[in-house]
Structure 1
């Protein structure tokens, strides 16, 4: 019997091998997928064997192909094996999860509840809420990335002692360049989807043509092509094509350079389960203008940011105007970002906390 044998794991309370199961291509450039990938890398550094498995099919409102893919993946795992399933893959398939819960150690990784996604029809929202609640009951533990999401799951009936919070880490990075240029460089990073609120930002900036600024929108336009097209139409409608550029997905080096060349990060999201762009900005001492949507009310530090109510275009426009005309405000938040930059956790700490959560799950039972 080897240390990677699932039965040995269960007796020792230490995890040596696990499957990390995600929907679709594991290499997608979103915060959730990057979190999953970095956790997998850190667990491997701790000596664990981690198999990352991407599932075919439609998620999170799962179709038959998705159900068959998850069922086949779990069926192929030996008894006692630990399987960490991303909430996007798990929440729509409670029957599959319960089918395997008796012989596998299932752990859910929930970035935010599926029903909290922006723009869902009421029937879809209710179906996802009921489905995810049942799916989570099949899991020994639930890992979330923020205290906010942990509270949301508790509101949905998940017992708090089954939840472990493992926030993302961040890589060390060079601070952004403070150039004092007359043209203020605004940056917004996130997939072009309704929840991220880029349409609100465009509307807010439409009333600030009297000021000097440029905006880079960085994010995947293919996750919701209709929304991305509407953003382009809004830019054209307001005559902002010479000021706003949609740059698509950027590789890590290009994105790092984009951060370093920005003056302020704008996070207009309706909702975030954590908002990894917040720590990525702080790692570069980059101040922020951000909403209070979801976990942002907790994760955005007031010392480094101006915050506005989520979904409030007028408040966002007012905050942007204040930022652009008030050098004292900019200096205050810049200084706060520099101070906070020194206190950020790295991915090594995240990996250790995640490993501890897995060790606890190895000896636990499902709800």
Structure 2
């Protein structure tokens, strides 16, 4: 197959894909000759288009003389013909500044990552929050709300914040709430549910009823969060989806909404992404899933390797501007990784230096 892929056919395939991605209209030989001032005749280009169709890279609809790319054509383009995926320097700077000016919480960064990817790549974005092997508690704060109503603010190991109210048998002084929170934070920093139980069961506290309430609440919250993480896929950019001609029909819009708002289609790919380096591109039927045959996904992992790893990317029709999607996903994955490292009190440069035994900054 590759022996038959002449240089002229490579260039024609590249032009067809670029034109089709830009216009969503099948590309005819006459259009290529006019658009690019080709020195060969339309008949010659037609023959080359027919050869590319025989190779499996193009196809055509019965109602049109023009050609459209196949999944194999897009794959050949991504791996062999696509211009180097990069964002302009001013775009990278603007994106990073948006993250740096946001509130320093993981929820804020995840929301921003989704919005920026959707806007930059002009497709639906998906973000899976980073998670480690076990959900752990970083610290807890207890705040009196009203009389016997207490707010528990729990900061988890990945930077996520969870808040839950509970009611006590009688009002608790602020000093007592602070004392009990200090006890838990001293004994349960970076502890899992089972570790929290074991450590707090060994404590003899002057306020055992309140202690038990807080321990039960914290452990229940961590369990709920752990269960939610397995299906937690955030999406953004639905307005961008509506601008795509592929989604002019209601049934296709419904299918895409179901795809990005549920975990059934994307969840099986997450382990593969978290264990792979770089950006992964899935094109149409390559995923071998009927519900994804008209969809392409550009996905990458982010976070702290082997400790706190998430997935982010863009999802759209196979007629996708792949270079821009890849560049966007790659850059934002890098920014998010930097932020996750910093959230845990360590820069990526420091981590790389410690792993490779290098002096800081080398």
User: Structures share a fold, TM > 0.5?
Assistant: no
More helix by share: 2
TM-score by length of 1: 0.25
Rg (Cα) greater in structure:
2
